[in-house]
Amino acid sequence: MNPPVVPDVQKAWVEIAQGTPEHALQLKSDWPVAKQLVPGDVLVKIQAAALNPAGYQMLKLLPNFLARRPIVPEFDFTGVIVDSRDSEHKVGDEVFGFIIYQWRFYSKTKSGALAEYICVPGKFVMKRPSNISPIEAAGLGLAGMTAFQALDEAMLEEGQTLLVNGGSTSVGSFAIQIAKARGAKVVAVASGRNEQYVVDLGADEFIDYTKVGPLHEYLTNNPPSPKYNVILEAVGIYDPSLYTFGTSYLAPNGAFISVGPEPERLLSLKTVWDTLRLLSVRLLPSVLTGYTASYHSTLVEHDRKRYAEFHRLLEQGKVKPLVDSAYAFEDALNGYDRLKTYRATGKVVIKVSI
């Protein structure tokens, strides 16, 4: 079989300036395809891509010289390999994957997910399970592997209890399913309108944050028994109160793990005070603070061993894809509008070549 013919140019959404998507993105039909692969690279013909809040927030916050614009945006994609110099993958493999944030700062290809083709290291992708459609696979990578890695770093085990603050977020939704697959008990925090959504994902208990007031105060006044072994902060907030006030509800040998704040939240003047509060608990001796639970902030990496385990859970149906809505490639800006409502349950997907 002859290898697929790859064009020299493609359609792609391109960041041309700093700002909101409707002002800073432009659909081009002559964006070059990065066809010159180095050892370890693969070239993927993209079928679908998924949008992420950090995508449009970084678009708004990062000046052009830091973002290296013009550049193709977004991180999550699924597609078919049309060229490969990676020993793990061959032409014709159906894959999904994601770009890590820092890769965009040093990549020479300026590749992103909102394009017809993407050139990435082979370790950025994994084979798509046959029971998962391209639309479903588009948003699996970044959120799914962030949740998987976070629970690994927190060393969540069978029989333990996990509290997920932000159970209806993309990362939180995957964390619920992965934790249940590991045999853990899950308490999910979300708004009341998403209660059935997180229960259907496997949550054993539910807390409606809109009804209980500040979550750390509610948990202090209503401590669980036994205490939580792991707390996952999946909302993207920076306020460390859930950790710094956690002695009443987080086990002494437990772990608090955060997916990190959304970029736009770091601009708040409250950030300095919150940082000082967090450092006072993390750096002062436990004999002074009375606090021994660990704190982690996860920064997702590509790990082929985790990929294999995640792939197995997907094949077994223990973790299911989460799709909120899908938009035509030309309607990507409408997809961003949906994402910015903060009402999407699951990923907002952009159809590229399907």
pLDDT in 10s for each residue of the chain, 354 residues = 577 899 999 999 999 999 999 999 999 999 999 999 999 999 999 999 999 998 898 899 889 988 889 999 999 999 999 999 999 999 999 999 999 877 866 678 889 999 999 999 999 999 999 999 999 999 999 999 999 999 999 999 999 999 999 999 999 999 999 999 999 999 999 999 999 999 999 999 999 999 999 999 999 999 999 999 999 999 987 778 899 899 999 999 999 999 976 655 555 666 666 666 666 666 655 655 566 788 888 999 999 999 999 999 999 999 999 999 999 999 999 999 999 998 898 999 999 998
Residue 310 inside a domain? The answer is no
Residue 148 is predicted with a pLDDT of 98
Q: How far apart are CA 63 and CA 234, in angstroms?
A: 27
Residue 165 inside a domain? The answer is yes
Residue 337 inside a domain? The answer is yes
CB atoms within 10 A of CB 58: 20
Residue 108 is predicted with a pLDDT of 81
190 shares a domain with 233: yes
Residue 309 inside a domain? The answer is no
15 shares a domain with 128: yes
Residue 260 is predicted with a pLDDT of 78
Rounded to 10°, the helix 304-315/170-181 angle is 80
277 shares a domain with 210: yes
Tokens 């349950």 belong to 345
Residue 211 inside a domain? The answer is yes
84 by DSSP, 3-state: which?
Answer: strand
Tokens of 97: 């994957």
Q: Are 320 and 297 in contact (CB under 8 A)?
A: no
118 shares a domain with 33: yes
289 shares a domain with 222: yes
* Domain assignment of residue 119, given as a range: 9-140+321-351
Residue 67 is predicted with a pLDDT of 87
Residue 244 is predicted with a pLDDT of 86
Residue 282 is predicted with a pLDDT of 62
Residue 4 inside a domain? The answer is no
108 shares a domain with 68: yes
Residue at 114: amino acid letter: L
252 shares a domain with 130: no
Residue 3 is predicted with a pLDDT of 72
43 by DSSP, 3-state: which?
Answer: strand
Residue 277 is predicted with a pLDDT of 62
39 shares a domain with 179: no
DSSP strand pairing (76-84 vs 185-190): unpaired
Give 91's DSSP letter.
Answer: T
Residue 236 is predicted with a pLDDT of 81
177 shares a domain with 134: no
Residue 313 inside a domain? The answer is no
The number of domains in the chain is 2
Residue 188 inside a domain? The answer is yes
Residue 114's domain is classified under what CATH number?
3.90.180.10
Residue 276 is predicted with a pLDDT of 66
205 shares a domain with 103: no
Q: How far apart are CA 169 and CA 76, in angstroms?
A: 16
148 shares a domain with 135: no
Answer with the one of 256, 282, 297 that is the final residue of a domain.
Answer: 297
Residue 160's domain is classified under what CATH number?
3.40.50.720
239 shares a domain with 338: no
